[in-house]
Chain A
Amino acid sequence: MGILQGFLDSIYGLFVDSGLMDLTWKNYAMIAIACFLLFLAIKKQYEPLLLLPIAFGMLLVNLYPDIMAAPSTNLVPVEQYLAEHGGEAANYATTVQNGITYYNVPTNGGLFYYLYQGVKLGIYPPLIFLGIGAMTDFGPLIANPKSFILGAAAQIGIFFTFIVASLIGFTDAQAGAIGIIGGADGPTAIYVTSILAPELLGPIAVAAYSYMALVPIIQPPIMKALTTKKERSVVMQQLRPVSKLEKILFPIIVTIVVALLLPSAAPLVGMLMLGNLFKESGVVDRIFKTAQNELMNIITIFLGVTVGATATGEVFLKLDTLKIIGLGLLAFMMGTAFGVLFGKLMYIFTKGKVNPLIGSAGVSAVPMAARVANKVGQQENASNFLLMHAMGPNVAGVIGSAVAAGVLISILG
């Protein structure tokens, strides 16, 4: 009888500890959302490299919230502790309450709590930028530096959205973090949010990566609405070849200029350019390969699961999240629109030599936005290859969004 009772007590104890007792409807709603995102990542292949770890982190944290729990201290009566540990005294600090002496016994935090420190301390985004730099060919931008104008134009959406977010009740710092979604650059959005508004990290990261995945759906209608058939059909001249020396000098010069003028953008731009210098210098083949493969993949896993793990039911299922998702969409659409409009200006000033579609690639989402510009161009003229032309504004957009991030951090941080 005693054994049966003990067994039942153990089962009851396990049941009380299980998620079935602790989870709220919000957790279950988030579990459903996480499963839907997993479906999108696996079945529809929407940015699976990011969406899959994000969705799984979201799933895990809503099943077991303590996986993100911070380390804490338990007060254990000294007598009880000694009884449990065969009389061995411990070296913990003690606290006396109501005449009883307690040990301050530290407990470990959850796994994701520790991994999340890389996000919280702003470590992962610059490391992701290192990998992106190692994978990026800035040749199209060096061959046609005017692309920088399109990369800058596409950042206008960030600042307009900042104003709209301020007007509907977000603080200036929160509005800045929301606006940066318009840069369509996940690591930059996470970096800025972790500094300006860490409480919004979950919704902003999910919104930023969602819109990056939805570039092929969101951008084409805007591009077509703002351009004529004639403009979309423009065939651009082939870019000039860029020498190795120019490619080596580029990351060094950009780092010096940006870090001198805007130090707060230095971590992002500096690491981006360091990765690129690994690639272009041709003398550090091993670390170049590590930066673009192993390191990038490891950081992507850590960043993905921990960003997903910030999206708990309590944090995510709020009206503010819907506002952020709406504002993010506005920022992204405005960035695309301004990029295309500046592309039209360049079309006019160059007397029809620039296809305005490449302006849409200024939103940075590399290389998806450039591929979309190429695809929309080919819908008008199947033999028109805009990809390399669009890569100029695309990589300029990465630098532009990092500069915009630096401005926001300088003013609001």
Chain B
Amino acid sequence: MSNQLVAAAEANMSVIILITGFAVVFAVLLLLIGIIKLYSVIVYNAQNRAKKPKKSKESADTAPATPVSEPIPAPVQTVSDGSLDLQTVAVITAAVEAFYSDNNKVRITGIRRATGARSEWATAGVRESIAPMRSEGLL
């Protein structure tokens, strides 16, 4: 009888740990989802607000660009330093457009030289992405 009681108590303990484990792991990670979403919105809004006055000034100085209904953020951003020739700009523009081939609404607002500090994961990702092209002799 006492053995059965001990077994029952152990089974209870196991179930408690199982439920607690599920609940805590999911609760903490769901909380993190909420917090990340919240601060992402805050950061996005704050950065947009900081950029807005700058943009309006720029648009007054430059010629009006081709109207784009839904501009999506381009991977290459910020202001060009003026050292690029038009051919290079055209090549980069074509490459970006080709990359977003399913959505042509891309506008290049500036070109900046990358710092070269790419993380290991990013490097691994790039290698993985271009591996099929290498194997097909495209690179």
Residues of A within 8 A of B (CB): 135-137, 141-142, 145-146, 148-149, 151-152, 155-156, 158-160, 162-163, 166-167, 172, 175-176, 240-241, 243, 245-246, 249-250, 253-254, 257-258, 261-262, 279, 292, 367, 371, 374, 378, 382-383, 385, 387-388, 391, 396, 399-400, 403-404, 407-408, 411-412
Residues of A within 8 A of B128 (CB): 371, 374, 385, 387
Q: Is A246 touching B26 in the complex (CB atoms < 8 A)?
A: no
Residues of A within 8 A of B14 (CB): 162-163, 166-167, 172, 175
Residues of B within 8 A of A (CB): 10, 13-15, 17-18, 20-22, 24-26, 28-33, 35-37, 39-40, 43-44, 47, 73, 75, 119-122, 124-125, 128-129, 132
CB distance from A364 to the nearest CB of B (A): 13
11 A-B residue pairs with Cβ-Cβ distance under 8 Å, sorted by A, are A137-B120, A137-B122, A146-B33, A162-B14, A167-B14, A253-B35, A258-B32, A378-B132, A400-B29, A407-B21, A408-B21
Residues of A within 8 A of B43 (CB): 243, 245-246, 249
Q: How far is the CA of A399 from the CA of B22 in the complex (A)?
A: 14
Q: Known contacts A137-B119, A382-B132; is A254 also within 8 Å of B18 by CB?
A: no
Residues of A within 8 A of B13 (CB): 172
Q: Is A257 touching B28 in the complex (CB atoms < 8 A)?
A: yes
Q: Is A135 touching B119 in the complex (CB atoms < 8 A)?
A: yes
What is the chain A residue whose CB lies nearest that of B127?
A387
Q: Known contacts A172-B13, A241-B73, A391-B121; is A407 also within 8 Å of B25 by CB?
A: yes
Q: Known contacts A162-B14, A245-B43; is A240 also within 8 Å of B73 by CB?
A: yes
Residues of B within 8 A of A142 (CB): 36, 40
What is the chain A residue whose CB lies nearest that of B13?
A172
Q: How far is the CA of A32 from the CA of B69 in the complex (A)?
A: 69
Residues of A within 8 A of B75 (CB): 241
Q: How far is the CA of A135 from the CA of B120 in the complex (A)?
A: 6
Q: Which of B25, B30, B121, B129 contacts A404 (CB 8 A)?
A: B25
Q: How far is the CA of A407 from the CA of B26 in the complex (A)?
A: 12
Q: How far is the CA of A408 from the CA of B124 in the complex (A)?
A: 33
Q: Is A391 touching B125 in the complex (CB atoms < 8 A)?
A: yes
CB distance from A266 to the nearest CB of B (A): 12
Q: How far is the CA of A262 from the CA of B26 in the complex (A)?
A: 13
Q: How far is the CA of A28 from the CA of B40 in the complex (A)?
A: 58
Residues of B within 8 A of A391 (CB): 121, 125
Q: Is A404 touching B21 in the complex (CB atoms < 8 A)?
A: yes
Q: Is A162 touching B18 in the complex (CB atoms < 8 A)?
A: yes
Residues of B within 8 A of A254 (CB): 32
Q: A135-B119, A141-B36 are in contact. List 14 more A-B contacts (CB 8 A).
A: A148-B32, A149-B29, A152-B29, A240-B73, A241-B73, A245-B47, A249-B39, A250-B36, A253-B35, A257-B35, A258-B28, A279-B119, A383-B132, A408-B21
